[in-house]
């Protein structure tokens, strides 16, 4: 029987002990003596959140297909166990073997959101690995980071030996081969890191040195050894049909946040919304074939036993064969009572027809994401959705029996005025009016409920808004309050609900998103002061973060309140994502003029992603010819 | 067709709650390709029920669940035939292949029409509690004293209040060995008592040290009120 790292007594004390015992269906067990490389894959949040992450499942599956590699999983211990582990000096362990992480060759940490940074330090600390890469010895695992936050890894650069820039399917094989080869010849950690820097997509932060102007902005970012390229090129999968897929997903015993099969239908997005980092850094759009998707769906459902499957992409309606895909899935799933979940579908007659078949209309709600309250501002952000689209979709939905509608907005977008803000409640009111106009009293099934929620805009690297300034916390709250007042003034105020996100977290996220290496010591200090699980509103302690900034002599407003000049060198400029800085700047200029840019299917705008010669890009056809 | 599955809980599974085990079994049935019958309504759920929840942290080799299975769809039929009853001899090997090591499936039996479900049938449960040799005398003495009494009034905490009950009729058998204590006690909807509670009374009656706890608690089997095992119902496949 598998041994467990934690004693009965501890497991009986902590909340949800199932988080720490492993042994799930489809978890992979191997003999550690029969592999050359042990990889601990960490999602730095609690098990229930991290478990269903698709990226983790993809790499877990891919790594474990190699007979010489054993990949296991690690999640953040919840504060109750964290305390016990420190008291009793129990080292952090991986779920499968229950062995200490410190005994592994690699610790890979996926960085899905900035607010997990303090948890990254907890993982290192509990594992007994020195927090900073510079302090690590030959006995420590190689710590590698991947995921969306690596598009600006600089705030956490000191804590990692390597970063993987791009899609995991591409160069992990080469990295593992290199490691195994060098380990056998007795090469040192430093020698391995230098050699790894020569692999496309691998960034070794210790091999670069930033220098700064007197005003604190970046002056230069210089490679220190010949192996380190001046520019690290993002690696991507060129053909989505040729890569593996986790058709044996791990099925947790306890209900995770993602309790279903995830079917990734494509990568990238044709839309080019100017605030959206994913829309830029995953270009170009690459689809999986319909036949392959049906095969994956069938096998994954059979192997996991899940009773739900969810489509995953940035904008599922833009998948070129969405109708046959959904129809095919419905045929496959209905006999076996398997549900289909369709997030990110545009509301139109097709999607409403499908949704009325797969959901309970009375219970479910429909979601629109206009992001901004006026057409002017929607043009600035290049959100292709017009008020006509929204009203047409809403009218169809009301006739179809839906009475619950959600709207998502952002506050603090570049060029936003009071008119744009008041446009939010006004748009919601027009949707309510539409309901009362369209649906006669006797046909109304329940009261109309419109929920609007707004987050505060955080400018992200590699977007046309990467030059934009943010606002102070007080200003954000002021704006949200004015919107709230606007809702109270509407005729049908009782049918309208408005909620807004936390402003403190927004400001901190802004610092991390576009921060440089100087931010690293603030993160370390905040962690020492007790910051942990910052993504959990009830655990987030802004006062401690402010104290950390003060003690480190770092001014957060340097990162948030400055609109950057056109020629500023950014900490992330050494990464080449394909999309060029010149294109992003062109988009910034068009935003300021309120001019929309056509989507990739309508017309190529020459963003630079064509250099990958794949997917939807015209260069892909040339490459095939 | 209603089947009764006998299974166990070991290792990691001891820390998985009752509802999560139920959901896991629904997945295991799907993985096994065994067609489940569903309830009616807009959100149908598989018709499946457990005999008796097991406390968190306990292992077991005597758990039962009843599930209704249905005709298989031609596509699901393991023999590639037309729509028809699921071949009974496939049930056990398929469930075994679909489960995990910590959730072993021991046996499958087909229940006759109209037999009571597992939950309603439970009347007794048997347990093995690990002990240290130095506790043996205390427990032996406690057991003799308890079994000799006509009634053992105890207070039992429910979710909302404290109720008084007689423990004596709940005790069917207490056996002490150098390394283990065996209990056969009342369980189910009529009268239910936890092994930990009986342990406390045994220690008290045997004038043992307060606060000593059994080493590991394992459920051995579930029985009807007359003492026959739930695993004896119906026909083995």
Structure tokens at A323: 């109708």
B213 close contact with A: CB closer than 8 A: no
Query: Is the bond leading into A284 cis (omega within 30 degrees of zero)?
Result: yes
Q: In Å, how far is B80's CA from the nearest CA of chain A? A: 17
pLDDT at residue A465, as a whole number: 98
Residue of B9, B17, B31 to mutate for A, most A C-beta atoms under 10 A? B31
Q: How many CB atoms lie within 10 A of CB B177?
A: 12
A23 close contact with B: CB closer than 8 A: yes
Q: Which of A417, A423, A427 is nearest to A451 (CA)?
A: A427
Q: Is the pLDDT of residue A423 over 60?
A: yes
A209 found inside a domain: yes
B20 close contact with A: CB closer than 8 A: yes
A94 found inside a domain: yes
Q: Which residues in chain B have Cβ-Cβ distances shorter than 8 Å to A2?
A: 11-12, 101-102
Average pLDDT value for residue range A199-208: 98
> Closest to B20 (Cβ–Cβ): which among A23, A254, A303?
A254
Q: Do B57 and A11 touch (CB under 8 A)?
A: yes
| Range 25-84 of A in CB contact (< 8 A) with B | 25, 27
> Please, are residues A594 and A376 in contact by the beta-carbon 8 Å criterion?
yes
Query: How far apart are the C-alpha atoms of A359 and A339, rounded to whole Å?
Result: 8
Helix (H) or strand (E) segment spanning residue A568: none
B13 close contact with A: CB closer than 8 A: yes
Judged by DSSP in three states, A622 sits in helix
A18 close contact with B: CB closer than 8 A: yes
Q: How confident is the model at residue A323 (pLDDT cuts 50, 70, 90)?
A: very high
Angular region, A446: left φ>0, alpha ψ -120 to 50, beta rest? left
Average pLDDT value for residue range B98-126: 91
Q: Do A253 and B56 touch (CB under 8 A)?
A: no
Q: Is the pLDDT of residue A231 over 60?
A: yes
A539 close contact with B: CB closer than 8 A: no
B96 close contact with A: CB closer than 8 A: no
Q: How confident is the model at residue B117 (pLDDT cuts 50, 70, 90)?
A: confident
Q: Is the dihedral of CA A395, A400, A404, A407 positive or negative?
A: negative
Lowest mean pLDDT among A79-83, A195-199, A344-348: A344-348
pLDDT at residue A61, as a whole number: 98
Q: In Å, how far is B71's CA from the nearest CA of chain A? A: 12
pLDDT at residue B81, as a whole number: 53
A39 found inside a domain: yes
B190 close contact with A: CB closer than 8 A: no
Q: Quick one: closest CA in A to B35, which residue?
A: A336
* CA B90 to each of CA A75, A336, B85, B86, B105: distance values in angstroms, whole numbers, following the listed order: 38, 19, 11, 8, 13
Q: Do B20 and A8 touch (CB under 8 A)?
A: no
pLDDT at residue A354, as a whole number: 83
Q: Is the pLDDT of residue B78 over 60?
A: no
Q: Which residues in chain B have Cβ-Cβ distances shorter than 8 Å to A248?
A: none
> Closest to A8 (Cβ–Cβ): which among B27, B57, B101?
B57
Residues 6+ apart with CB under 8 A from A326: A311, A340, A342, A354
Q: Do A253 and B13 touch (CB under 8 A)?
A: yes
pLDDT at residue B76, as a whole number: 55
A302 close contact with B: CB closer than 8 A: yes
CATH of B2-120+229-236, one of 3.40.50.150, 2.60.40.10, 3.30.420.40, 3.30.70.580: 3.30.70.580
The percent of residues above 90 in pLDDT, for chain B, comes to 68
Judged by DSSP in three states, A368 sits in strand
- Per the document, the length of chain A is 625
A429 found inside a domain: no
A333 found inside a domain: no
Q: Is the pLDDT of residue B231 over 60?
A: yes
Query: How far apart are the C-alpha atoms of A599 and A314, rounded to whole Å?
Result: 14
> Please, are residues A128 and A493 in contact by the beta-carbon 8 Å criterion?
no
Lowest mean pLDDT among A123-137, A335-349, A553-567, B135-149: A335-349
pLDDT at residue B123, as a whole number: 95
Judged by DSSP in three states, A415 sits in coil
Structure tokens at A252: 């947790």
> Closest to A23 (Cβ–Cβ): which among B26, B76, B102?
B102
| Range 39-58 of B in CB contact (< 8 A) with A | 42-44, 46, 56-57
pLDDT tens column, A346-359:
888 888 888 888 77
Q: Which of B52, B55, B65 is nearest to B4 (CA)?
A: B65
Q: Is the pLDDT of residue B74 over 70?
A: no
A93 found inside a domain: yes
> Closest to A17 (Cβ–Cβ): which among B15, B26, B98?
B15
Q: How many domains does chain A have?
A: 1
pLDDT at residue B88, as a whole number: 86
Q: Which residues in chain B have Cβ-Cβ distances shorter than 8 Å to A24?
A: 100
Produce one character per residue of A337-364: b if its CB has 16 or more CB atoms within 10 Å, e if not.
Answer: bbebebeebbbeeebbebbeebbebeee
Average pLDDT value for residue range A482-498: 96
A541 close contact with B: CB closer than 8 A: no
Q: How confident is the model at residue A259 (pLDDT cuts 50, 70, 90)?
A: confident
> Please, are residues A357 and A401 in contact by the beta-carbon 8 Å criterion?
no
Query: How far apart are the C-alpha atoms of A167 and A174, rounded to whole Å?
Result: 14
> Closest to A302 (Cβ–Cβ): which among B11, B31, B102?
B31
Q: Which of B123, B226, B223, B221 is nearest to B170 (CA)?
A: B123
> Closest to A305 (Cβ–Cβ): which among B12, B30, B43?
B30
User: HEC string of A197-228?
Assistant: CCCCCEECHHHEEEEECCCCCEEEEEECCCCC
Strand segments (E) across A3-141 = 37-43, 69-75, 106-110
> Closest to B44 (Cβ–Cβ): which among A27, A301, A337?
A337
Q: Is the pLDDT of residue B221 over 70?
A: yes
> Closest to A18 (Cβ–Cβ): which among B15, B99, B100?
B15
pLDDT tens column, A588-619:
999 999 999 999 999 999 999 999 999 999 99
A190 close contact with B: CB closer than 8 A: no
Helix (H) or strand (E) segment spanning residue B189: none
Average pLDDT value for residue range A460-465: 98
A17 close contact with B: CB closer than 8 A: yes
Domain that holds residue A183: 8-233
Query: How far apart are the C-alpha atoms of B133 and B140, rounded to whole Å?
Result: 11
Residue reference for tokens 């423990």: B167
Give ipTM to 2 decimals.
0.88
CATH classification at residue A93: 3.40.50.280
Q: Which residues in chain A have Cβ-Cβ distances shorter than 8 Å to B42?
A: 360
Q: Do B11 and A21 touch (CB under 8 A)?
A: yes
Residue extents of the structural domains in chain B:
2-120+229-236, 132-214
Q: Quick one: closest CA in A to B28, which residue?
A: A305
* CA A232 to each of CA A92, A208, A467, A494, B38: distance values in angstroms, whole numbers, following the listed order: 32, 11, 21, 53, 54
Q: Which residues in chain A have Cβ-Cβ distances shorter than 8 Å to B57?
A: 8, 11-12
Sequence-ordered alpha helix ranges (H) in chain B: 18-32, 91-98, 118-121, 136-148, 195-205
Query: How far apart are the C-alpha atoms of A283 and A272, rounded to whole Å?
Result: 10
Cβ contacts from A onto B, under 8 A: 85
> Please, are residues B195 and B185 in contact by the beta-carbon 8 Å criterion?
yes
Please classify residue B120 by burial: count the beta carbons closer than 10 Å to its beta carbon, then call 0-12 exposed, 13-18 middle and 19+ buried.
Answer: middle
* CA B139 to each of CA A596, B19, B142, B173: distance values in angstroms, whole numbers, following the listed order: 82, 34, 5, 13
A401 close contact with B: CB closer than 8 A: no
Query: How far apart are the C-alpha atoms of B105 and B96, rounded to whole Å?
Result: 6
Query: How far apart are the C-alpha atoms of B95 and A41, rounded to whole Å?
Result: 30
Query: How far apart are the C-alpha atoms of A312 and A293, rounded to whole Å?
Result: 11
> Closest to B20 (Cβ–Cβ): which among A21, A22, A255?
A255
Q: Quick one: closest CA in B to A10, which residue?
A: B57
Eight-class DSSP state of A92: P
Query: How far apart are the C-alpha atoms of A242 and A227, rounded to whole Å?
Result: 30
Cα–chain-centroid distance for residue A524? 23
Question: Angle of helix A473-488 relative to helix A503-513, nearest 10 degrees?
Answer: 130
Q: Quick one: closest CA in A to B41, which residue?
A: A360
A358 close contact with B: CB closer than 8 A: no
* CA A110 to each of CA A56, A145, A279: distance values in angstroms, whole numbers, following the listed order: 8, 6, 19
The percent of residues above 90 in pLDDT, for chain A, comes to 88
Average pLDDT value for residue range A244-273: 93
pLDDT tens column, A502-529:
899 999 999 999 999 999 999 999 999 9
Q: Is the pLDDT of residue A122 over 70?
A: yes
Average pLDDT value for residue range A367-377: 95
Query: How far apart are the C-alpha atoms of A275 and A377, rounded to whole Å?
Result: 12
A360 close contact with B: CB closer than 8 A: yes
B211 close contact with A: CB closer than 8 A: no
Query: How far apart are the C-alpha atoms of A252 and A589, rounded to whole Å?
Result: 48
Query: How far apart are the C-alpha atoms of A517 and A156, rounded to whole Å?
Result: 7
Query: How far apart are the C-alpha atoms of B224 and B231, rounded to whole Å?
Result: 10
Structure tokens at A44: 């730095």
Lowest mean pLDDT among A7-16, A77-86, A380-389, B157-166: B157-166
B102 close contact with A: CB closer than 8 A: yes
pLDDT tens column, A45-59:
999 999 989 999 999
B12 close contact with A: CB closer than 8 A: yes
For chain B, the straight-line distance linking the first and the last C-alpha, in angstroms and rounded, comes to 13
Q: How much is the pTM?
A: 0.94
Q: In Å, how far is A90's CA from the nearest CA of chain B? A: 19
- DSSP readout, B25-76? HHHHHHHHTPPBPB-SSSS--B-EEESS---TT-EEEEEEEEEEB-PBPTTT
Q: How confident is the model at residue B83 (pLDDT cuts 50, 70, 90)?
A: low
Round the average pLDDT of chain B to a whole number and report it.
90
Q: Is the pLDDT of residue B159 over 90?
A: no
Average pLDDT value for residue range A188-198: 97
pLDDT at residue A266, as a whole number: 97
Q: Do A25 and B24 touch (CB under 8 A)?
A: yes
Please classify residue A305 by burial: count the beta carbons closer than 10 Å to its beta carbon, then call 0-12 exposed, 13-18 middle and 19+ buried.
Answer: buried
Q: In Å, how far is B5's CA from the nearest CA of chain A? A: 18
């Amino acid at each position: 029987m598998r041994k467990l790292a934690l004693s009965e007594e501890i497991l009986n004390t902590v909340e949800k002990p199932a988080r720490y015992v492993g042994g799930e269906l489809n978890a992979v067990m191997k003999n550690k003596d029969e592999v050359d490389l042990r990889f601990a894959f960490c999602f730095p949040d609690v098990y229930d959140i991290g478990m269903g992450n698709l990226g983790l499942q993809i790499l877990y599956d891919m790594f474990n297909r190699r007979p010489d590699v054993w990949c296991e999983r690690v999640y953040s211990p919840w504060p109750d166990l964290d305390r016990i582990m420190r008291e009793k000096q129990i080292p952090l362990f991986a779920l499968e073997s229950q062995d200490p992480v410190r005994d592994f060759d690699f610790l890979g940490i996926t960085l899905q959101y900035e607010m997990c940074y303090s948890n990254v330090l907890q993982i290192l600390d509990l594992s007994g690995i020195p927090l900073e890469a510079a302090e690590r010895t030959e006995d420590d695992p190689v710590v590698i980071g991947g995921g969306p936050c690596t598009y600006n890894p600089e705030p956490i650069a000191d804590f990692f030996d390597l970063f993987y820039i791009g899609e995991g399917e591409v160069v992990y094989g080469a990295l593992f081969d290199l490691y195994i080869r060098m380990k056998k010849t007795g090469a040192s950690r430093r020698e391995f890191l230098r050699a790894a820097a020569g692999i496309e997509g691998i960034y070794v932060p210790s091999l670069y040195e930033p220098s700064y102007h007197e005003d604190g902005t970046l002056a230069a970012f210089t490679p220190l050894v010949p192996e380190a390229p001046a520019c690290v090129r993002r690696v991507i999968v060129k053909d989505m049909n040729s890569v593996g897929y986790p058709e044996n997903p791990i099925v947790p015993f306890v209900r995770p946040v993602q309790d279903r099969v995830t079917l990734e239908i494509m990568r990238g997005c044709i839309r080019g919304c100017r605030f959206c980092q994913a829309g830029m850094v995953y270009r170009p759009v690459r689809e999986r074939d319909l036949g392959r998707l049906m095969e994956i769906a069938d096998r994954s459902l059979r192997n996991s036993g899940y009773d739900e499957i969810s489509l995953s992409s940035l904008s599922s309606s833009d998948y070129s064969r969405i109708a046959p895909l959904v129809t095919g899935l419905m045929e496959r799933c209905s006999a076996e009572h398997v549900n289909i979940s369709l997030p990110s579908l545009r509301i139109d007659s097709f999607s409403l027809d499908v949704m009325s078949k797969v959901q309970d209309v009375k219970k479910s709600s429909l979601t629109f994401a206009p992001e901004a309250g006026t057409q002017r501002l929607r043009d600035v952000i290049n959100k292709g959705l017009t008020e006509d689209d929204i009203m047409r979709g809403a009218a169809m939905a009301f006739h179809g029996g839906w009475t619950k509608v959600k709207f998502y907005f952002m506050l603090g977008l570049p060029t936003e005025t009071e008119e744009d803000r008041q446009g939010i409640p006004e748009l919601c009111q027009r949707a309510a009016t539409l309901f009362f106009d369209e649906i006669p009293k006797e046909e109304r099934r329940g009261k109309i409920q419109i929920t609007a929620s707004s987050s505060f805009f955080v400018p992200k690297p590699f977007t046309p808004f990467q030059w934009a300034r943010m606002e102070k916390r007080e200003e954000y709250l002021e704006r949200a309050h004015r919107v709230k007042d606007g809702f109270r003034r509407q005729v049908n105020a009782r049918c309208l609900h408005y909620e807004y996100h936390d402003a403190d977290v927004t400001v901190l996220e802004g610092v991390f998103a576009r921060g440089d290496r100087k931010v690293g010591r603030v993160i370390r200090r905040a962690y020492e002061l007790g910051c942990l699980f910052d993504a959990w509103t009830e655990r987030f302690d802004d006062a401690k973060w402010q104290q950390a900034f003060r003690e480190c002599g770092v001014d957060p407003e340097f990162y948030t309140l400055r609109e950057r000049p056109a020629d500023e060198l950014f900490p992330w400029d050494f990464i080449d994502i394909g999309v060029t800085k010149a294109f992003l700047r062109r988009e910034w200029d068009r935003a300021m003029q309120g001019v929309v840019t056509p989507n990739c299917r309508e017309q190529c705008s020459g963003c630079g992603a064509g250099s990958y010669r794949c997917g939807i890009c015209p260069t892909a056809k040339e490459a095939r010819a | 067709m209603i089947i009764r599955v006998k299974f166990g809980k070991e290792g990691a599974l001891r820390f998985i709650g009752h509802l999560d085990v139920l959901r896991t079994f629904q997945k295991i049935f799907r993985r096994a390709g065994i067609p489940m019958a569903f309830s009616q309504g807009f959100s149908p759920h598989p018709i499946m029920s457990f005999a008796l929840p097991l406390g968190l942290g306990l292992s077991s080799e005597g758990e039962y669940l009843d599930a209704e299975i249905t005709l298989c769809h031609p596509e699901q039929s393991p023999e590639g035939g037309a729509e028809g009853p699921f071949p009974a001899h496939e049930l056990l090997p398929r469930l075994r292949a679909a489960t995990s090591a910590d959730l072993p499936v021991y046996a499958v039996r087909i229940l006759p029409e109209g037999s009571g479900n597992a939950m309603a049938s439970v009347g007794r449960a048997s347990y093995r509690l690990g002990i240290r040799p130095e506790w043996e005398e205390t427990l032996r003495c406690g057991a003799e004293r308890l079994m000799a009494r006509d009634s053992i009034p105890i207070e039992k905490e429910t979710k909302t209040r404290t109720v008084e009950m007689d423990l004596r009729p709940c005790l069917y058998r207490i056996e002490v060995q150098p390394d283990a204590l065996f209990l056969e006690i009342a369980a189910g909807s009529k009268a239910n008592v936890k092994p930990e509670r009986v342990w406390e009374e045994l220690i008290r009656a045997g004038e043992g040290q307060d606060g000593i706890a059994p080493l590991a608690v394992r459920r051995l089997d579930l029985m009807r009120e007359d003492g026959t095992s739930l695993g004896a119902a119906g026909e083995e496949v």
